[in-house]
Amino acid sequence: MRPLVAVRRAVEFEPRFLESDPLFWPLARAARALGPHDDFPPVEAFGKVFEGDPPVRFVAPSPRRRRGSPVDVRALYDARITIERAVPTRPRCWHDLMNALVWGTFPKAKLALHARQHRLIAERIGPDARGLPPRSPQLDALALLDEGGIVVMASDPGTAQVSLRTGGAGTLGTMVESGRADALVFGHAIYESVALGVKPAVVAAVVLDREGWHGDLVGAADHALSVALREGRQLGSPRDLTRVEAAEARPGWTRREVRLAKWV
């Protein structure tokens, strides 16, 4: 059993997980919309995370395809989201709960991400395929963003990108502290790791322009990321993302936090 899977199964639901770390702040509205729960909310309730009409519904996963059987492109994860607007979701699962909360927080970006992944996968699968092709660099980048991405909204995106690539540990935190950028966790695996008390395995930043943002930082990040994903000019490979420390995205970041790398 993989270590994270073992931890995931061992950690019980904590109703006040939002209070455990400031990194959760973007999810606050969606989490509170679910209402109070002493245990994992049922999947049927996950639609409450959205403001207004839900763009997707959360459903039970389909049975796994048997090895060697024909590949039905329409039955794959990204296809079900894009075509059916159905997100396969496991009950009593920290990973899928955090995914639902990210959906409620960044619905435009999530739709754009899975639509792009579906298109790229469908283009690579032939009519008689009995297995999935190796992932391309672009699919690797999209998966990294989905699981371990941080959105950096910067006043000067070009300068911010160079600074993150060359500045080393502490650079993102300094940018956030100085007001030159804002950082929001997007990857649901980061949120899961923080909830479980495990340091995220991989954290990578995508830098976007916060020009024209007036008050709604989460909405601005959702819109800007969805546009970048639809246009396809970014995220051609994992090299387009920059490795950072998740702790530096915390409001009130300090260098001591990065050195200690404490996770509650």
- For the chain, the domains span 3-260
Q: Are 86 and 57 in contact (CB under 8 A)?
A: yes
Q: What share of the chain is helix, strand, coil (3-state, %, to 5)?
A: 55, 10, 40
Non-local CB neighbours of 130 within 8 Å, separated by 6+ positions = 68, 69, 70, 71
**Percent of the chain with pLDDT strictly greater than 90:** 75
Distance CA 81, CA 256 (A): 41
Residue 253, pLDDT score: 58
pTM: 0.91
Structure tokens at 185: 């966790």
When mean pLDDT is compared across 74-88, 142-156, 206-220, the lowest value belongs to 206-220
For 160-178, the pLDDT digits (tens) are: 999 999 998 899 999 999 9
Contact indicator for 46, 58 with CB cutoff of 8 Å: yes
pLDDT on residue 56: 98
Mean pLDDT of 56-75: 87
Secondary structure class of 125 (helix, strand, coil)? coil
pLDDT of residue 260: 36
13 pLDDT exceeds 60? yes
Residue 93: its pLDDT value, please? Answer: 94
- 145 is written with which tokens? 């963003």
- How many Å apart are CA 25 and CA 14, to the nearest integer? 16
pLDDT band, residue 32 (cuts 50/70/90): very high
Mean pLDDT of the chain: 90
Separation CA 96–CA 110 (nearest Å):
14
Interval 81-103 mean pLDDT:
97
Per-residue pLDDT band for 58 (boundaries 50, 70, 90) equals: very high
Position 154 scores a pLDDT of 95
Residue 207: strand, helix, or coil: strand
**Residue of 207, 228, 221 lying closest to 162 (CA atoms):** 207
> Does position 72 have pLDDT exceeding 60, yes or no?
yes
Only one residue has tokens 């959702």, namely 222
Q: What is the pLDDT of residue 233?
A: 81
